[in-house]
Structure 1
């Protein structure tokens, strides 16, 4: 989950985040037992959830937005998943997995007697069909606007030799054994397969409903019937309808689910873009819950008898610095001045919920490779002015963008956060040309195209690997910060690639700690601001939903009443 995604556990060796293959098999048993325990509770009913926006579609491979992922997580499953309430990898459609000694070949043992929603079997051939489908995208399917998660995590496609892919091949050894070959070792495998984007879809449905027929004309992208009307996974809920006239998405219980069946009859996602309107709908009884209540409302919601579920702070808010347009921003002293100028401690106290902290680096403490010896630089307006003077930038004027029509876990009130940051920068003598645009109505597009000099963005992790954080931000030079304009941009990308490919866990962690230090002290492509614990809120009668640091809440275990 993500810059624009809600959007990324742990070990590369055979232990891979647990204690070995045997432990992975055991985790599958634990998962099953947990499902049986959650089986208690009232059966039936409808959970109506207030969604902040409409899903982009229902094919998670083409998704980058949290609203699509929220619905997809209920309908689809991947080979691996994440233990509820954590970023720890656990078994899902694969009951266990084992890497080769070089980390390039992974053998997955699959859960048996699993069927897709259309009744077709899930097996090793289906796994390989999905991998080959992703790898063989053509035309618009290869664009970053369409396949961002593949590009960020696997690289290129079958027909892009100039941009090699992490994926090499997939073979069905037998119906319950899939062997995936990679071109190189990576710290992210297999946890990356827990991302909604890499969930398993029915091969027959993908073919029948022309899943890969994506058409792009200019900036307009049209998706095929599979993504719009026929999503087909293996999850506890099935797609029912998307009523665009009434802004409602409906999913229903999968009666043939291979695990513990959902207790709810259905889940309805009612699209209510305004956070205040979502709160009013909850209080009026029109919805049963919603995501990202304003931190200022937590106490009031609790006193009104609602259940405010606080997630762990697994995100980062940063002030993005684009080095493309203004040459002065390529001077480290100018970027350091921006960091000294912002009173991050006051911003955290005044604008963010209890439990938020000032960020010293671009990942929270829960992520492997976090450098706990780093401390945030102290707010110092005079130091900022001095650095600007040294760099000959005392007359600095910058285009500062902030988003509207959005609430993010790391950015609960963009307008207020912008006001706090802008006020501090202006006190340091920096002139600002502010621009606000809707999040999905020009803001992200302008940021991606390098229009603003400064912008507010952030990231909610997809998993606990450091590559999912600083690797996503700075692993390519053609990023949102345009680090390719800096003499160190390629050096940083190369160092991140080397750390990601290091098979020794201890050495890899040390490399990432070193990089975290270099990024904030020597490179500073952006200013890390804060880590903020987001929440979601439900009526008391809704039980069985576990808040997730990955925003990976599953409603299959939920009950009502």
Structure 2
């Protein structure tokens, strides 16, 4: 089965996406009007906003002289894409490194491969690479370079197998060539090998998974140059809980093929500087220099934009968006493809008791969170996938707010005097979580009204993910922005196997997810995903809270990038407009 990813196919796919097998987005553009009160799938806008502003003339003289500065909520963590799992790192790396396939909205489009083909079983994927592509270090892209990347990942040892380092790789492929028992990986890798033939690379798998071809768009699976791989081959293998290797924190070791090159990363000033790659195979970047500057406080980001210190920033607070628009700033709203949840780590008593988890779920007023904190267009979530994906089910167990019922259920379970630690992140905002402290306060208030004593545990973002993954937080807030349009990217990421971050072992859930993920027939797979979705909510590992349309703000004199529900903005599209 050959798939040609031509521009014509891209346009057709975007126009017909609601009717495609993946069952993606049903609406056209979102204008962001209205309140944060969407309360059903029918009211919810999952779309990719369409541009209506035309293409203004670029002020080329100014483009050559002035950098574009963008304010980010947090620092990147790694300049090696495979050793990353967070959005702020991906924001930087996707400008520098390319993947075999790319995502336009949620459609799969050309990346380094201009076309691909798969066998009928979905176990062999042959990519036909673009001609004439070179890495930033001058090495050519070919099938051998692609295979060298896949072989490197598959043969990671010891601490590199920890989810703190290679979360995405193990989520997609299940394991490594030789799993290290100390890392807790018990599943066999589905990666069998990679064969190169000139500009072709064929990836072989042991079985079908619905994650592909979407997973080939993951920033973690970005292709770096063969010389880069050789340069880090002798790097010391870290322990599972140690910091990232030094080479991931400095510019100059790794080379990609993207529209920008890494120029510098000043950790003290929290700035990453990129310069245009004039040898880029695609349309060259409009702005010569892009600077990503970390400003963790959302109010400070807005003030920096208004002062002219930056030209755009992410995650504009809902309260700021309308005022910015009235003052002439641009605040496009992304389509919705995320989920916020409250996790119940069952390794902490009494959260292993289903009745206790039910009681806590009834105690929380999610509508108040949506209406008070989320941007316009947010909605209460009832399950761990957004309604735009196949497998969304109207038959999942649901938990409408009922404080008195929660209090009685806790008493019946012998937990009327429950004291519990509740973790939340500080110094960060996320697309699914625009105000972590406010959301924490609301949920804490609800739990206390049901008789629960809450012990707050604020944790800085750099330590938050390792802490929650290690199972050290009984209750915690976290979420997910989808990487590609398949339920496994949500359900499989969290619940495919036993893990410390959830602390439960339910073979019925794991088997249901595996059955759906490995079913090649699309109609059958939809039903299996519904079954898996219902099994997850019957287990109740956590409470889905909400889905949210995050905003991104730009100065009036900036032509911004197309906004993405996957938060995959391409900053090579940015330029300053004439008359600014």
Shift of 1:300: 1.4
Using the alignment, how far apart are the partners of 1:309 and 1:374 within structure 2? 33
What is the Cα deviation at residue 27 of structure 1?
A: 3.5
Residue 40 to residue 160, structure 1, CA distance change in 2 (3 Å): farther
Identify the match of residue 102 of structure 1 among 121, 144, 166.
Answer: 121
Q: Which residue of 1 aligns with 2:525?
A: 508
- Give per-residue Cα distances to partners, 1:439-461, cap 9 Å, x unaligned: 213x3333222222211111111
Give the deviation of 1:72 after TM superposition.
0.6
Instruction: Give the match for residue 235 of structure 2.
Output: 213
Asked if residue 79 in structure 1 is aligned to residue 61 in structure 2, the reply is no
Query: Structure 1: which 5+ runs fail to align?
Result: 1-13, 15-19, 32-36
Secondary structure of 2:331's match? strand
Matches of residues 108-187 of structure 1 in structure 2 within 5 Å?
108-160=127-179, 163-172=187-196, 174-187=197-210
Q: What is the CA-CA distance between 1:225 and the residue it aligns to?
A: 3.2
CA distance in 2, matches of 1:304, 1:38: 21
Change (3 A) 1:295 1:87: same
TM-score (norm 1): 0.89
Aligned to 2:555: 539
- 1:302-381 equivalences under 5 Å are 302-326=325-349, 328-372=350-394, 376-381=398-403
Secondary structure in 2 aligned to 1:429? coil
Q: Tell me the secondary structure at the aligned position of residue 309 of structure 1.
A: coil
Residue 444 (structure 2) aligns with: 422
CA distance in 1, matches of 2:421, 2:295: 31
Residues 1:406 and 2:425 are matched in the alignment = no
Q: Distance in 2 between matches of 1:540 and 1:496?
A: 46
Matches of residues 266-305 of structure 1 in structure 2 within 5 Å? 266-305=289-328
**1:39–1:557: 8 Å Cα contact kept in structure 2?**
no
Q: Which moves more between the two structures, 329-338 or 260-269?
A: 329-338
For residue 29 of structure 1, report the CA deviation from its aligned partner: 9.1
- C-alpha deviations, 1:246-285, integer Å up to 9, x for none? 3221111111111111111110111222222211111110
Equivalence for 1:478: 499
Q: CA deviation at 1:139?
A: 3.0
Return 5+ residue gaps in structure 2 as ranges. 14-53, 181-185
Residue 32 of structure 2 corresponds to which residue in structure 1?
Answer: none
Q: Residues 338 and 425 of structure 1 are in contact (CA less than 8 Å); yes or no, is this contact kept in structure 2?
A: yes
2:445 matched to 1:463?
no
RMSD: 2.2
Equivalent pairs, count: 528
Q: Which residue of 2 is the match for residue 65 of structure 1?
A: 86
Q: Aligned partners of 1:27 and 1:21: how far apart in 2?
A: 10
Preserved contact between residue 141 and residue 214 of structure 1 (Cα < 8 Å): no
Determine the structure 2 residue equivalent to 1:27: 9
Task: Give the alignment's TM-score, normalised by structure 2.
Answer: 0.87
Q: Distance in 1 between matches of 2:288 and 2:336?
A: 32
Contact kept, 8 Å, 2:311 with 2:558, in 1: the verdict is yes
Secondary structure at the residue paired with 1:158?
coil
1:235 to 241, 258, 275: 258
Q: Is 1:205–1:226's contact at 8 Å kept on the other side of the alignment?
A: no
Partner of 2:509: 492
For 2:240 and 2:498, the matched residues in 1 are separated by 24
Bigger drift between 288-297 and 429-438 goes to 429-438
Native 8 Å contact 1:79 1:199 kept in 2 = yes
Q: Distance in 1 between matches of 2:262 and 2:161?
A: 26
Three-state SS of the structure 2 residue aligned to 1:407 is: coil
Aligned to 2:201, what secondary structure does the other structure show?
Answer: strand
Mean CA deviation greater in 364-373 or 331-340: 364-373
Whether the aligned pair in 1 keeps the contact of 2:391 and 2:527 (CA below 8 Å) is yes
- The CA deviation at 1:242 is 1.2
Kept in 2: contact 1:25–1:95 (CA 8 A): no
Distance 2:125 2:406 in 1: 50
Q: Deviations over 1:130-186 (max 9, x none)?
A: 1111111123322221111111111222222864212110001x2121111001110
The alpha carbon displacement at 1:429 in A equals: 1.4
Partners of 1:467 and 1:500 within 8 A in 2: yes
Are 2:272 and 1:249 equivalent residues in the alignment?
yes
SS at match of 1:435: strand
Cα distance in 1 for partners of 2:273, 2:559 equals: 20
Cα distance, 1:374 vs structure 2: 5.0
CA gap 1:23/1:114 in 2 versus in 1, 3 angstroms: closer
**Structure 1 residues 30 and 175: alpha-carbon distance in aligned structure 2, compared to 1, 3 A threshold:** farther
Match of 2:58 in 1: 41
- Answer yes or no: is the 8 Å Cα contact 1:215–1:221 preserved in 2: no
SS at match of 1:434: strand
> Retained in 2: the 8 A contact 1:364–1:531?
yes
CA distance 1:412–1:68, change in 2 (3 Å): same
Provide the rounded CA distance (Å) in 2 between the counterparts of 1:365 and 1:175: 42
Question: What is residue 9 of structure 1 aligned with on the other side?
Answer: none
Could you tell me which of 225, 238, 247 is aligned with 1:225?
247
Q: Residue 4 of structure 1 aligns with which residue?
A: none
| SS of corresponding position for 1:467 | helix
Q: Deviations over 1:32-71 (max 9, x none)?
A: xxxxx97963432421011222221211111122221111
User: Which residue does the alignment assign to 2:412?
Assistant: 390
Say which SS state the counterpart of residue 68 (structure 2) adopts: strand
| Deviates further, 162-171 or 256-265 | 162-171
Q: Is 1:473–1:479's contact at 8 Å kept on the other side of the alignment?
A: no
Contact 2:158/2:239 (<8 A) preserved: no
> 2:284, 2:358 → 1: CA distance?
54
Q: Is the 8 A contact 1:103 1:184 kept in 2?
A: yes
Give the match for residue 473 of structure 2.
452
